[in-house]
A and B are shown apart, each in its own frame.
Chain A
Amino acid sequence: MHELSVIIEVAKQVEAIAIENNITEVDSIVLQIGEISSMIPRYIEECYPAAVDRTMLEKTKLVIEIVKATANCDHCDQVFNIVDSEGHCPICQTKDWTLLTGKEFIIKEIIVC
């Protein structure tokens, strides 16, 4: 839903980083997106060309790495994937857990020519 405005923000931040580092051409941007973040990778990919249109990033490729949603069970300390186990701890079946990863939305790195 808000992917376009967010990817425009990403493009602005990358441009600022490029200018700061005297970079004129960026080959690719690597984003890390958490599996249960509010960003849907497919929509990010679809909005990306519009966001970089007529900017220095027009020819820059977008690479998305998905970060798995993992949690730590509050009862038995098991670390598990929340999506795979449908929100339950696979060992003790409770729904009480603390999120470890999966909400990220990070510009991981940029690859420059």
Chain B
Amino acid sequence: MSEFKILEIKQAVFEKNDRQADQLRIDLKNEGIFLLNLMSSPGSGKTTTLTRTINLLKNELKIGVMEADIDSDVDAITIAKTGAKVIQLHTGGMCHLDAGMTKQGLAGLGVNELDLVILENVGNLVCPAEFDTGSSKNAMILSVPEGDDKPLKYPLMFQICDVLLINKIDVLSVFDFDIELCKARVLKLNPNIKIIPISARTGEGIPEFCDWVKEEVKNWKGVSHE
């Protein structure tokens, strides 16, 4: 009979990802690259919002985009038309990106000379909220047809984001979406979040989002790393 020995580990499984993410943030800060992690449900208008945003910012900032999807490259093709540097990342069935995959994606994209890299995360309100990608800031889109109850159902996503874009406000009149109630629900979860109502279709609110991005990029490049 062999003797059994217990080796006490007490190791949080996500600690390794959190450490990798922190290191990636430091590296990006040293290189002066701002990484924005954009998350939402599928169909909320991430790619349309990005296209509008890139077109407004491309004369001022050098922009790269990482499109993370389980499969296909339709989003990458759409974004490439704006002239931004694009890479399509296939997660191979995985529902989120972690810091290691993000780092690989950045290496594949080639980030020298870029000011802003936007990571379009896998469309999902659950898993991407759990995994720190190493981004400078987190953004999310909630679209009107999804409903104003989403902050109640997916609280973590709203807690970890720095900015919330409420998209498709051009169709507010045909949905039972109470925008003030939605804002109140979000602010209760995260009092520091910035909320910007937009319509990616008409372009409403996009300039305000671009101003937020420009300010954040400026701060990121200006402040020395901790």
Contact = CB atoms under 8 A, between A and B. Distances in A.
Contacts of A5: 94, 98
Contacts of A10: 13
Interface size range on B against A: 20 to 34
Contact of A107 (B6, B11, B124): B11
A108 interface: yes
Nearest to A28: B4
Nearest to B2: A113
Contacts of B8: 108-109
Contact of B126 (A38, A105, A109): A38
A99 to B, nearest CB: 12
19 contacts: A1-B127, A2-B127, A6-B13, A17-B11, A23-B7, A27-B4, A105-B12, A105-B13, A107-B10, A108-B8, A108-B9, A108-B10, A109-B7, A111-B4, A111-B5, A111-B6, A112-B4, A112-B7, A113-B3
Interface of A: 1-2, 5-6, 9-10, 13, 17, 21, 23, 27, 38, 104-113
Interface of B: 2-14, 16-17, 94-96, 98, 124, 126-127, 130-131
Given A105-B14, A108-B9, 12 more contacts: A2-B127, A2-B130, A5-B98, A10-B13, A17-B9, A23-B7, A104-B12, A105-B12, A109-B7, A109-B8, A110-B9, A112-B4
